[in-house]
């Protein structure tokens, strides 16, 4: 009986020791590098598309804040009852259409800013994309045919306009879990028309479950990790909270042997900014909470040699944000922008 108990304890302890050792190796390897190194590949912003006109001031402001990549998002809309994906609507903002995306890429390149093209879905009834589902095989096949057309069209545009990075999906946990073959086939089809780098934007809570990471060039994560229940969390406490998430990322990264890019990360300038960063349910302005959350993310990630950088959510191409809700993800005209500018500076 005692031997069985010892064996049982070893079965519990040994995997934990392996995990901790892997984390230690990664941290030790990172810390052996110079602590001043912040020359990450992607010092990015997710750009909210211009409504109708692309302004030079947008790119000038991005350059002033040391941004070297933008993510452009050609939205498409899912009609669940018809199992369709539609895009390039006449009522869409110009910057979300194929024409607007192409023009924005050209303008971006004029300012020596590179591009990640990142198609997003919007489900008309407000359903979270990760829960997208259909009842029948016929519906799934119709939706997949529509989605493939959408993605391949923008992959071809990405190739034509010399886009460096193409992200072919965002937070689609259930469709990937239920229909993995479709996604492997889609990746193969993308490779035939687009010769740049490819990633996928997994949600923070399911990035370990994605089956096709080895087929891509980067592990992509929308990094809205829950970190603190505090109204105004301190940088120190947030740094400690990051460790459990970093451990999971490191284990996957070592298994797949691909660098990690945060396809989205960001915090609202509100109370509880780091509690559930994906929610927009707080109504009290807290610029310090947002700034602390950004500071901690950069302190915790930016010197990891496996971290390729990421794209902050979000930057408005138009200035209408000044007239809307003063609580928003954008760091524009907030203390958080100085944090970003500081860490995005090449060293």
Contacts 24+ apart (CB under 8 A), 250-254: 250/22, 250/23, 250/26, 250/306, 251/19, 251/22, 251/23, 252/207, 252/208, 252/213, 252/219, 253/219, 253/306, 254/22, 254/26
Distance CA 338, CA 347 (A): 16
Average predicted confidence (pLDDT) for the chain: 91
* Six token digits for residue 262: 């945060």
Q: Could you tell me what percent of the chain has a pLDDT over 70?
A: 88
Summarize pLDDT for 69-83 with one digit per residue, the tens. Answer: 999 999 999 999 999
Domains of the chain, CATH where assigned: 41-344 (3.20.20.80)
Residue 321: predicted pLDDT: 74
User: Is the per-residue pLDDT at 332 higher than 80?
Assistant: yes
Residue ranges of E strands in the chain: 42-48, 69-72, 76-79, 84-87, 114-117, 121-123, 165-170, 197-203, 219-222, 260-265, 307-316
Per-residue confidence (pLDDT) for residue 39, from 0 to 100:
73
Is this prediction's pTM over 0.85? yes
Residue 280 has pLDDT above 70, yes or no: yes
- CA distance linking residue 62 with residue 156, whole number of Å: 26
Q: How far is CA 35 from CA 26, 118, 172, 299, in A?
A: 15, 32, 36, 10
Q: Confidence class of residue 124 from pLDDT cuts 50, 70 and 90?
A: confident
Average pLDDT over residues 293-310: 97
pLDDT tens, residue by residue, 147-192 = 999 999 999 999 999 999 999 999 999 999 999 999 999 999 999 9
- For residues 96-102, give the mean pLDDT: 97
- The pLDDT score that the predictor gives to residue 29 is 47
Mean pLDDT of 295-315: 97
Between vectors from CA 10 to CA 9 and to CA 11, what angle results, nearest 5°? 90
Residue 7, pLDDT above cutoff 60: no
- The confidence band for 119, taking pLDDT boundaries of 50, 70 and 90, is very high
Residues in contact with 19: Cβ distance below 8 Å, sequence separation at least 6, in sequence order: 247, 251
Local structure of residue 231 (DSSP, 8 states): S
pLDDT at 314 over 80: yes
Where does the pLDDT of residue 2 fall: very low under 50, low under 70, confident under 90, or very high at 90 and above? Answer: low
311: helix, strand or coil: strand
């Amino acid at each position: 009986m005692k031997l069985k108990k010892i064996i049982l304890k070893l079965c519990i302890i040994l995997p934990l020791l392996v995990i901790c050792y892997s984390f230690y190796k990664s941290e030790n390897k990172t810390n052996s590098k110079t602590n001043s190194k912040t020359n990450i590949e992607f010092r990015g912003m997710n750009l909210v598309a211009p409504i109708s006109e692309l302004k030079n001031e947008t790119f000038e402001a991005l350059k002033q804040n040391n941004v070297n990549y933008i993510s452009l998002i050609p939205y498409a809309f899912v009609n669940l009852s018809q199992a369709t994906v539609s895009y390039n609507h006449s009522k869409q903002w110009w910057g979300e259409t194929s024409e607007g995306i192409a023009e924005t890429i050209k303008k971006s390149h004029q300012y020596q800013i590179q591009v990640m093209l990142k198609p997003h879905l919007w489900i008309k009834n407000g359903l979270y994309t990760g829960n997208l589902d259909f009842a029948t095989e016929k519906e799934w096949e119709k939706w997949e045919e529509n989605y493939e057309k959408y993605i391949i069209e923008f992959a071809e545009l990405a190739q034509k306009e010399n886009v460096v990075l193409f992200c072919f999906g965002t937070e689609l946990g259930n469709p990937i879990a239920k229909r993995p073959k479709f996604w492997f086939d889609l990746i193969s089809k993308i490779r035939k028309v687009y010769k740049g780098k490819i990633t996928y934007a997994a949600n923070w809570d399911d990035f370990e479950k994605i089956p096709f990471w080895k087929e891509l060039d980067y592990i992509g994560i929308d990094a809205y990790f829950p970190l603190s229940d505090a109204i105004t969390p301190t940088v120190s406490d947030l740094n400690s909270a990051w460790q459990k998430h970093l451990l999971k990322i490191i284990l996957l990264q070592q298994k797949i042997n691909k660098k990690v890019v945060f396809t989205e990360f960001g915090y609202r300038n509100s109370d509880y900014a780091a509690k559930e960063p994906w929610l927009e349910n707080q109504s009290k302005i807290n610029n310090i909470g947002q700034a602390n959350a950004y500071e901690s993310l950069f302190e915790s990630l930016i010197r990891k040699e496996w971290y390729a950088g990421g794209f902050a959510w979000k930057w408005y191409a138009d200035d209408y944000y000044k007239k809307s809700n003063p609580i928003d993800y954008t760091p524009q005209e907030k203390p958080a922008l100085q944090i970003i500018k500081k860490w995005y500076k090449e060293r």
